[in-house]
Every structure is written in C-alpha cells, then in structure tokens.
C-alpha cells in the first residue's frame, strides 16, 4: 500500500530566475535554500514553511500528457515511505514512470491529466 507522508515541493517553470526571485524572495520574503545542486539549468530552491518551491528556468512544458520525464516540467513532489512499493503499484496499474536523474530515491510519473508527480522516498 502506498503511503504519502507530506508535500515536499512544488516546481514552477520560469522564464527568468532572477526576475522570479524578485517576486518570491524579494516581495514574498521566501528564503533561498543554497543547497540546490547543479541540475544543468538555472533555477532556485525557496523555503515555504515545511515545503519548498523549486524554480526551474526551462521552456514550458517539456511534454504533454503521457510524455517524458516530469522532473523538467511543472510538478508536485510528495514524500513517500518505500519507493519499491510505489514502483510495484505503478507497474500493476500500468502507469509509466522514470527514475530521478539526480540520483535521489525518487521517480516521476503523470496523473491521468498529464500533470507530473514526483514521489520522493525519505531516507
């Protein structure tokens, strides 16, 4: 059985990271989290209470419903307990997924409307 623990982050596509930071950091006061790894494209992580907003400077959107890897698209990230259970359930339901390219214990899939969902295992 899949068990979701909490919302981890929401990713938003932006055309200009600095301009987006003027809004989210400068105006709304969200703190910048300096732990963002080099993902090969500009962006920023911002603290928003117990979750984060990840700004991704990429052309929107990478793929439509049923498309490719959701990590480079708008997505919601949910914390889960056991990624192997998630994989088994997704495969049983015939839902396509891709593993995170960051090396984290996470995967990406799409809901029936094509929205990207990240399922991130807590260590």
Give tens-digit pLDDT for 18-74. Answer: 999 998 899 888 999 999 999 899 999 999 989 999 998 887 655 544 457 788 788
Contacts of 62 (CB under 8 A, 6+ apart): 68, 69, 70, 72, 73
Instruction: Give the pLDDT confidence score for residue 22 in this predicted structure.
Output: 92
Residue 99 has pLDDT above 50, yes or no: yes
Question: Which ranges in 1-123 belong to alpha helices (H)?
Answer: 17-21, 83-93
Task: Give this prediction's pTM.
Answer: 0.74
Domain ranges of the chain: 4-121
**Architecture category of domain 4-121 in CATH:** Roll (3.10)
């Amino acid at each position: 059985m899949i068990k979701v623990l909490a919302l981890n982050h929401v990713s938003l596509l932006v055309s200009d990271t600095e301009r987006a930071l003027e809004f989210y950091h400068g105006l709304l006061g969200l703190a910048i989290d300096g732990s963002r790894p080099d993902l090969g494209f500009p962006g920023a992580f911002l603290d928003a209470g117990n979750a984060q907003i990840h700004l991704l400077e990429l052309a929107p959107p990478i793929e439509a419903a049923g498309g490719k890897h959701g990590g480079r698209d708008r997505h919601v990230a949910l914390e889960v307990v056991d990624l192997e259970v998630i994989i088994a359930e997704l495969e049983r339901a015939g839902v396509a997924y891709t593993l995170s390219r960051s090396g984290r214990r996470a995967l990406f899939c799409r809901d029936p409307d094509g929205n990207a969902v990240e399922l991130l295992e807590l260590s």
